[in-house]
């Protein structure tokens, strides 16, 4: 049965009569947290019955949730066909009160969502690649991950979250559904998560980066770079053979970005592989003229991997060199190291446990 989450508000307006009912349905689902059409008390009984007959609301079902000491939560979700994907809730800032108990700052969260069951990219360091590619997620299956996590963690409707398309799969390989999910999340009568709170991470599909730029959705762009020369990147990321570093950088330079924002470059630091001073120097040259921010990510080891976690001292030297050359650079705080944090780990763990 199809999920109602697959439809944009405009599409829903064309499906229900009178069309103003679409706004009511959206508000019940996204603002009031309805999980059944029978809860929509201001809809006619016949419409509620028809919706119940033809559609579901939730597009995902929780199979397992692992909670880290740092508050991160890793979810394994089952889809309508039994396939599974992962999502992560990352607490970014804790709620803060003054000495009188008055609230000074709300808690802030980032939700990392999957866009595919498995992945075609075959990156050497990625656990998701182990399971191969199965299928794309629909827009509603992407949106459903965020809706479920907000509801399960009692994050109020008015509390905005940041969304990153950085879970299982290559978002730009599922372009149309990811684009639609962005637009559904932006809808003011829905979750109202603005484009600037949504980041699409890509392994470097240059043609799709250009296509995304032409739509000018207003989303942020993150590039999984991970190497500064084609020889190493070919080995780490097979997609580089189709879209080499030069092609990716060309597409990035044409990408429209809000003047207050930067293109983010994700650089997974692999101990002894891409953490040398020479790599840092080449990276500075690659980023020349680009309003960039580099996130250094320490490799999260998983069973069977040939790579190791780098020494923090080497990562700090890498960061400090970039900063000395005027490149904004941070070391991303590792979260969830005590749970199945690497993308695809929880999915494979549950499959093994149930075997």
φ and ψ at residue 30, rounded to 5 degrees: -90, -30
What is the rounded CA–CA span in Å between residue 287 and residue 276? 17
- What does the alpha-carbon distance between residue 315 and residue 33 come to, in Å, rounded to a whole number? 43
CA dist., res. 50 & res. 103, Å (int): 44
Residue 86 bears catalytic tag: yes
Known binding residues are 119, 123, 126, 169-170, 201, 224-226, 300
Give the β-pairing of 328-331 and 220-224.
Answer: unpaired
Largest CA distance in the chain: 68
Q: Cβ(265)–Cβ(294) under 8 Å?
A: yes
Q: Determine the Cα–Cα distance for residues 272 and 285; give it in Å rounded to an integer.
A: 21
Among 13, 112, 266, 343, which one carries the catalytic annotation? 343
Question: Which residues line the annotated binding site for [4Fe-4S] cluster?
Answer: 119, 123, 126
* Phi/psi of residue 82, nearest 5 degrees: 90, -10
- Torsions phi, psi of 84, nearest 5? -125, 150
| Cα(229)–Cα(10) distance, integer angstroms | 45
Q: Which residues pair with 112 in a beta bridge?
A: 88, 164
Please tell me which residue in 86, 141, 266, 348 is annotated as part of the active site.
86
Tokens 């299982």 appear where? 168
- Binding residue ranges for S-adenosyl-L-methionine: 169-170, 201, 224-226, 300
| Beta carbons of 137 and 115 less than 8 angstroms apart | yes
Q: Give yes or no: 36 in active site.
A: no
Asked if 254 and 210 touch (Cβ cutoff 8 Å), the reply is yes
- Rounded to 5 degrees, φ, ψ at 209 are -60, -45
Q: Would you say 167 and 88 are in contact if contact means Cβ atoms under 8 Å apart? A: yes
Place of tokens 């942020």: 220
The catalytic residue positions are 86, 343
């Amino acid at each position: 049965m199809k999920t109602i989450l697959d439809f944009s508000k405009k599409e829903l307006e064309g499906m229900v009569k009178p069309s103003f009912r679409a706004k009511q349905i959206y508000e019940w689902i996204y603002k009031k947290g309805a999980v059944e059409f029978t809860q929509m008390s201001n809809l006619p009984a016949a419409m509620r019955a028809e919706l119940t007959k033809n559609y579901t609301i939730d597009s995902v079902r929780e199979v397992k949730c692992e909670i880290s000491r740092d508050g991160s939560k890793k979810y394994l979700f089952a889809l309508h066909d039994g396939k599974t994907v992962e999502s992560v809730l990352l607490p970014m800032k804790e709620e803060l009160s003054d000495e009188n108990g008055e609230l000074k700052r709300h808690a802030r969260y980032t939700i990392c969502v999957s866009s595919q069951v498995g992945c075609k990219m075959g990156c050497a360091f990625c656990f998701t690649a182990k399971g191969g590619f199965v299928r794309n997620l629909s827009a509603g299956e992407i949106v459903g991950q965020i809706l479920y996590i907000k509801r399960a963690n009692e994050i109020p409707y008015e509390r905005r979250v940041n969304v990153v398309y950085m879970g299982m799969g290559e978002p730009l390989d599922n372009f149309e559904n990811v684009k639609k999910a962005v637009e559904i999340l932006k809808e003011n009568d829905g979750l109202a998560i603005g484009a600037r709170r949504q980041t699409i991470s890509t392994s470097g599909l240059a043609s799709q980066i250009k296509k995304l730029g032409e739509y000018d959705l207003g989303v942020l762009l993150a590039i999984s770079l991970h190497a500064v020369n084609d020889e190493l990147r070919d080995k780490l990321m097979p997609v580089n053979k189709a879209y080499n570093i030069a092609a990716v950088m060309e597409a990035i330079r044409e990408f429209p970005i809000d003047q207050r924002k930067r293109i983010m470059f994700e650089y997974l630091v692999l101990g002894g592989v891409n953490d040398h001073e020479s790599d840092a120097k080449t990276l500075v040259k690659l980023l020349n003229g680009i309003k960039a921010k580099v996130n250094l990510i320490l490799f999260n080891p998983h069973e069977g991997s040939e790579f190791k976690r780098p020494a923090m001292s080497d990562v700090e030297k890498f960061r400090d060199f970039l900063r000395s050359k005027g490149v904004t650079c941070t070391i991303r705080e590792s979260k969830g190291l005590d749970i199945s944090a690497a993308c695809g780990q929880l999915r494979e763990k549950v499959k093994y446990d149930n075997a």
